[in-house]
Amino acid sequence: MTTNEESLIAENKSLKAEIVWLKEQLADLNRTHYGSRSDKTKFDAQSNDAQSSLFGEKDFFEMSQTPLAQPRVKHAPVQYKRVKGKLVKIKSTKNSRSEK
Protein backbone atom coordinates (compact mmCIF):
# COMPACT_ATOMS: atom_id res chain seq x y z
CA MET A 1 0.00 0.00 0.00
CA THR A 2 1.07 3.53 -0.61
CA THR A 3 1.19 6.22 2.01
CA ASN A 4 -1.85 7.84 0.43
CA GLU A 5 -3.93 4.67 0.88
CA GLU A 6 -2.69 4.27 4.45
CA SER A 7 -3.63 7.85 5.29
CA LEU A 8 -7.10 7.33 3.78
CA ILE A 9 -7.61 4.16 5.85
CA ALA A 10 -6.50 5.96 9.01
CA GLU A 11 -8.82 8.88 8.26
CA ASN A 12 -11.71 6.46 7.62
CA LYS A 13 -11.12 4.77 10.99
CA SER A 14 -11.00 8.10 12.80
CA LEU A 15 -14.21 9.25 11.10
CA LYS A 16 -15.97 6.02 12.08
CA ALA A 17 -14.82 6.48 15.67
CA GLU A 18 -16.11 10.07 15.61
CA ILE A 19 -19.50 8.89 14.28
CA VAL A 20 -19.79 6.36 17.10
CA TRP A 21 -18.87 9.06 19.65
CA LEU A 22 -21.44 11.48 18.17
CA LYS A 23 -24.17 8.81 18.28
CA GLU A 24 -23.38 8.19 21.95
CA GLN A 25 -23.56 11.92 22.66
CA LEU A 26 -26.90 12.17 20.85
CA ALA A 27 -28.24 9.22 22.82
CA ASP A 28 -27.17 10.87 26.09
CA LEU A 29 -28.82 14.16 25.09
CA ASN A 30 -32.03 12.39 24.11
CA ARG A 31 -32.07 10.45 27.38
CA THR A 32 -31.71 13.63 29.43
CA HIS A 33 -34.16 15.66 27.35
CA TYR A 34 -36.84 13.00 26.81
CA GLY A 35 -36.10 10.93 29.91
CA SER A 36 -39.52 11.39 31.54
CA ARG A 37 -41.45 10.15 28.52
CA SER A 38 -42.49 6.58 27.85
CA ASP A 39 -40.17 4.09 26.15
CA LYS A 40 -42.13 4.35 22.90
CA THR A 41 -41.26 8.02 22.45
CA LYS A 42 -37.60 7.92 23.45
CA PHE A 43 -35.11 8.41 20.70
CA ASP A 44 -32.68 5.72 19.80
CA ALA A 45 -29.58 7.35 18.38
CA GLN A 46 -28.81 4.48 16.04
CA SER A 47 -32.22 4.33 14.36
CA ASN A 48 -33.19 8.01 14.32
CA ASP A 49 -29.92 9.84 13.80
CA ALA A 50 -30.68 10.54 10.14
CA GLN A 51 -34.21 11.78 10.84
CA SER A 52 -33.17 13.96 13.77
CA SER A 53 -30.47 15.60 11.68
CA LEU A 54 -32.96 16.24 8.87
CA PHE A 55 -35.81 17.69 10.88
CA GLY A 56 -34.25 18.70 14.16
CA GLU A 57 -34.87 16.58 17.23
CA LYS A 58 -37.94 18.38 18.55
CA ASP A 59 -39.63 18.56 15.15
CA PHE A 60 -39.09 14.85 14.55
CA PHE A 61 -40.39 14.02 18.02
CA GLU A 62 -43.56 16.04 17.43
CA MET A 63 -44.01 14.44 14.02
CA SER A 64 -43.68 10.97 15.50
CA GLN A 65 -46.54 11.74 17.92
CA THR A 66 -49.09 12.64 15.24
CA PRO A 67 -51.25 9.82 13.86
CA LEU A 68 -50.69 8.92 10.23
CA ALA A 69 -54.32 8.00 9.50
CA GLN A 70 -56.68 10.80 8.63
CA PRO A 71 -59.89 11.14 10.63
CA ARG A 72 -63.00 9.73 9.00
CA VAL A 73 -65.34 12.13 7.25
CA LYS A 74 -68.74 12.29 8.88
CA HIS A 75 -71.44 12.24 6.25
CA ALA A 76 -74.90 13.64 6.62
CA PRO A 77 -77.44 11.07 7.81
CA VAL A 78 -79.32 9.26 5.06
CA GLN A 79 -82.91 10.38 4.77
CA TYR A 80 -85.86 8.39 3.45
CA LYS A 81 -89.37 9.17 2.22
CA ARG A 82 -92.39 6.95 1.56
CA VAL A 83 -93.28 6.30 -2.06
CA LYS A 84 -96.22 3.94 -2.66
CA GLY A 85 -95.85 2.45 0.81
CA LYS A 86 -92.12 1.75 0.52
CA LEU A 87 -89.17 3.65 1.95
CA VAL A 88 -86.96 5.22 -0.71
CA LYS A 89 -83.64 6.92 -0.06
CA ILE A 90 -83.67 10.65 -0.80
CA LYS A 91 -80.82 11.68 -3.08
CA SER A 92 -78.91 14.70 -1.82
CA THR A 93 -79.70 17.32 -4.43
CA LYS A 94 -80.98 20.82 -3.98
CA ASN A 95 -84.40 19.85 -5.33
CA SER A 96 -84.92 17.02 -2.86
CA ARG A 97 -83.96 19.24 0.04
CA SER A 98 -86.37 21.95 -0.98
CA GLU A 99 -89.26 19.44 -1.38
CA LYS A 100 -89.27 18.61 2.33
Would you list the domain boundaries of the chain?
3-65
* Residue 77, phi-psi category: left (phi > 0), alpha (psi -120 to 50), beta (remainder): beta
C-alpha span between 67 and 78 (Å, rounded): 29
pTM: 0.33
pLDDT, tens only, 34-45: 765 545 444 455
Along the 100 residues of the chain, how does pLDDT read in single tens digits? 788 899 999 999 999 999 999 999 998 888 887 765 545 444 455 555 555 555 555 555 555 555 566 666 777 777 888 888 888 888 766 554 555 4
Rounded to 5°, angle at Cα 65 from 29 and 71: 170
